[in-house]
Amino acid sequence: MTLPRRHALVTNDDGIDSFFLHCLVESLLNDFEVTVAAPANEQSWIGRAISRRREVTVNQAKAFPLPCKAWSIDGTPTDCINIALGHLLPHKPDVVVSGINLGYNTTQNLIFCSGTIAGATEGAFWGLPAIAFSKAIDPGHFEAVSAMHGHGDEAHTTSLKAAATHALALTHECIATYEGSARVVNINFPPRTNSNSLIVETVPAATFIGSLFKPSKNENGNSFTFTYRQGDELPTAGNLPTDLQALRANQISRSILAFEEMVLNA
C-alpha cells in the first residue's frame, strides 16, 4: 500500500514571485504535497506583524507547477500562515516551511525582524514542525539579485539549486526530530552552497547594530530613512559556533530557536 505524501505549507517574505521560493517548492515537490500561501508583494523586515486594521485579500496563484496549490495573499507572512491554517487548508499540514529568503537571517537582532522566520514561527505556535531557510548572497550582488526577484548568473543559480536540495532533506529531518515544542529550525545557506556543504549546529550571533536609520534630505530636517548596517559582533556564551562564523566558513548554519525555553527562562 502506498502511503500518502506528507504535506508542506510554504510561505516566504520576498513575495510569491521570488525565484528562491520557486526553487524551494520545486525541490519539495519531489517528496511532498505542497501548498503555498505567500505574500503578494515583498514583506521583508516585517517580523511578526499582523494586518489588524485592514482586510486581507486571498487569490489563487497559478505560477507553480501542478499539483501544487498556491495562494497569493496581500498580507504579511504571519497573515499568510494564519489564514491558511485557519481557513484555507482542510487539514493541518505536516510541516510549515518558510523561504528560501534572499539573504541571510542571522544574529539575535535580525532574527526577530525577519518575515521569513515569522512565517515559520506562526506554524510553530500552531503546534507544527517549522523550519525557515535563508541564503546569503555574495557581497555586491544582493541589489541586482533582489531586483531580479532572486535570479542571477549560472553560478548563483547552481548554488541556489544546491541549497534547495539540502532544504528537502532538512525538512524531512525537521519532521522526524519534532517533539511537540514551539521551536523553529533556522537554516542559513552560505553564498557558495554545494552538495557537499557541511551543516553545523550554531547559535545566533550577538551583535550591536545601533540605529538603522539616517537623516533624510528633507528640508525640514525631521525625517529619517532606513539604512542597513551589519553591526559589531559581541562575545557569545557557549561552545557552539555562531551562525555568522558558519557562513564565513562557507558552512550551512542550523540554529534552534526554542520559544518555550524563552518563556521558561523569562
Question: Is 108 contained in some domain?
Answer: yes
What percent of the chain is modeled with pLDDT above 70? 97
Q: Are 33 and 92 in contact (CB under 8 A)?
A: no
CA angle 129/245/227 to nearest 5° reads 85
Name the residue range of residue 24's domain. 6-200+238-264
229 within a domain of the structure (yes/no): no
Lowest mean pLDDT among 165-169, 176-180, 229-233: 229-233
Whether 207 contacts 109, CB under 8 Å:
yes
Burial class (CB in 10 A: 0-12, 13-18, 19+), 263: exposed
The type of residue at 109 is: N
CB atoms within 10 A of CB 247: 22
User: Domain count of the chain?
Assistant: 1
Q: CA-to-CA distance for 95 and 171, rounded, in angstroms? A: 8
Judged by average pLDDT, the poorest of 153-162, 188-197, 198-207, 223-232 is: 223-232
How far is 237 from 204, CA to CA, in rounded Å? Answer: 11
Rounded CA separation 223/94 (Å) = 46
24 part of a folded domain: yes
* Cβ(46)–Cβ(54) below 8 Å: no
Entry field: residues in the chain: 266
Cell of 219: 528640508
> Tens digit of pLDDT for each residue in 12-56?
999 999 999 999 999 999 999 999 999 999 999 999 999 999 999
Per the listing, cell 549546529 goes with 201
Q: How far is CA 52 from CA 55, 72, 76, 78, 89, in A?
A: 8, 18, 11, 12, 22
Let me know if residue 71 belongs to a domain.
Answer: yes
pLDDT tens digits along 54-79: 999 999 998 898 889 999 999 999 99
Residue 209 lies in a domain: no
In a domain, 177, yes or no: yes
Helix, strand or coil, per DSSP, at residue 149: coil
Integer distance in angstroms from the first to the last C-alpha of the chain? 48
For residue 207, is it within any domain? no
Question: What CATH number corresponds to the domain at position 32?
Answer: 3.40.1210.10
Please state, in angstroms and rounded to a whole number, the distance separating the CA atoms of residues 106 and 104. 6
For residue 261, the model assigns a pLDDT of 65
Contact 59, 71 (CB under 8 A): yes
Q: Would residue 59 count as lying in a domain? A: yes
pLDDT at 266: 43
Q: How confident is the model at residue 3 (pLDDT cuts 50, 70, 90)?
A: low
The pLDDT-based confidence of 2 (bands split at 50, 70, 90) is low
Lowest mean pLDDT among 114-118, 167-171, 181-185, 257-261: 257-261
What would the grid cell of residue 139 be?
557581497
Which region, left, alpha or beta, applies to residue 205 given φ > 0 means left and ψ of -120 to 50 means alpha?
beta
d(CA 177, CA 120): 16
The pLDDT assigned to 140 comes to 86
